[in-house]
A and B are shown apart, each in its own frame.
Chain A
Amino acid sequence: KQEVTQIPAALSVPEGENLVLNCSFTDSAIYNLQWFRQDPGKGLTSLLLIQSSQREQTSGRLNASLDKSSGRSTLYIAASQPGDSATYLCAVPGSGNTGKLIFGQGTTLQVKP
């Protein structure tokens, strides 16, 4: 059974700092991994989707890496801004090839001005 863990659960950093969020999964037989952002009281916004054949995906100040063999992904945020404050969730496909997602519990990020 696939399980996804995110560390740390919460993180507070000063504005401008570079930071890394971690995601680990127990079953390495995944075909992609997705990172989402969730603002308080809002739905999920997709940030990056990494296919299993890729090792990295970049979007602006965000860079996500995927290491299937070790069951890990990282989300790197460069030059953090107060507007980056949100909960970040990673998700991998569950078993059965239906596309359902198994989520971690999220990392809540606070960027202080």
Chain B
Amino acid sequence: EAGVAQSPRYKIIEKRQSVAFWCNPISGHATLYWYQQILGQGPKLLIQFQNNGVVDDSQLPKDRFSAERLKGVDSTLKIQPAKLEDSAVYLCASRTGGSYNEQFFGPGTRLTVL
């Protein structure tokens, strides 16, 4: 079974530029999460999708971050414009079934904002 795929793996941009990350969850997983992990900290949820609907985006900085999951499969996370403090690893995770089930994480995208 293929795991969660993410691209790109690394991205370096200047502040005020825009950037987009892509995630392809495990086939059949209806729930998809985007987490932000700042160096030395645990991941923190940015947004959660159930199929193509948003379940929780309370921690998403909506003035600069946006995310979509068209057709309930792939998802993209965009930052526009980027700030220095956005430097982090962006992790995508997916799960199937109920909220009791295990989450599976992708390899992450490491973003450096200069």
Sort chain A's interface into a size bin.
Answer: 20 to 34
> How far in angstroms is the closest Cβ of chain A from B104?
7
Instruction: Identify the stretch in B13-21, B42-50, B60-68, B69-77 within 8 Å (CB) of chain A at 4 or more residues.
Output: B42-50
A71 at the interface (CB under 8 A from B): no
Q: Closest B residue to A90 by CB, please name it.
A: B42
A4 and B104 alpha carbons, distance in the complex (Å): 20
B88 CB, nearest partner CB in chain A, Å: 13
Q: Which residues of A contact B48 (CB under 8 A)?
A: 98-100
A residues whose Cβ falls under 8 Å from a Cβ of B: 4, 31-32, 34, 36, 41-46, 49, 51, 89, 91, 93-94, 96-101, 103-106
B31 CB–A CB distance under 8 Å: yes
Q: How many chain B residues have a CB neighbour from A under 8 Å? A: 29
Closest residue of A by beta carbon distance from B98: A99
Q: Chain B residues near A31 (CB, 8 Å)? A: 99-100
Which residues from chain A contact B56 at a C-beta distance below 8 Å? 96, 98, 100
Residues of A within 8 A of B27 (CB): none
* Option from A42, A97, A103 in Cβ contact (under 8 Å) with B108: A42
